[in-house]
A = this chain, B = another copy of it.
Amino acid sequence: MESSFAILAEPNRRAILTLLVTSERSVGEIERRLKLSQPAVSKHLRVLRDAGFVEARVDARRRVYRLRPEPLMEVDAWLAPFRQLWERHVDALERHLDTLEATAAKGKPDAQP
């Protein structure tokens, strides 16, 4: 199994996924919007499908692709432990801003304790 990150490394594949957030799309639609050749789109969709990012529905002679959540959930889960990095950061920023406000209220802007 290829890593979901490896799949997402390709910019056009990310673009396809982003397109599919709005609604499901046929191959031709994707081809036109992204200005890619039809084989290129089909190949990317193949990769995305094999990795579980999308699934296809048959509509007459078109194949309509839509998103599947699982692989992106995995990515989200991998990211989870790192979120403390900026959440703490935001907290620190907020505390800093609070400090600024407090000192400003005391008429001492930019004080360095």
Residues of A within 8 A of B (CB): 3, 5-6, 8-9, 11, 14, 17-18, 21, 67, 69, 72-73, 75-76, 78-79, 81-83, 85-86, 89
The CA-CA distance from A104 to B90 in the complex, in Å, is: 44
Q: Which of B3, B18, B69, B82 is within 8 Å of A9, CB to CB?
A: B3
The CA-CA distance from A72 to B85 in the complex, in Å, is: 9
Given contacts A67-B85, A72-B82, 6 further A-B contacts (CB under 8 A): A5-B5, A69-B89, A72-B85, A73-B86, A75-B75, A79-B79
- A selection of 30 A-B contacts at a CB cut-off of 8 Å is A3-B9, A3-B11, A5-B5, A5-B8, A5-B9, A5-B14, A6-B9, A8-B8, A8-B9, A9-B9, A14-B78, A17-B82, A18-B81, A21-B81, A21-B82, A67-B82, A67-B85, A69-B82, A69-B85, A69-B86, A69-B89, A72-B79, A72-B82, A72-B85, A72-B86, A73-B86, A75-B79, A76-B79, A76-B83, A79-B79
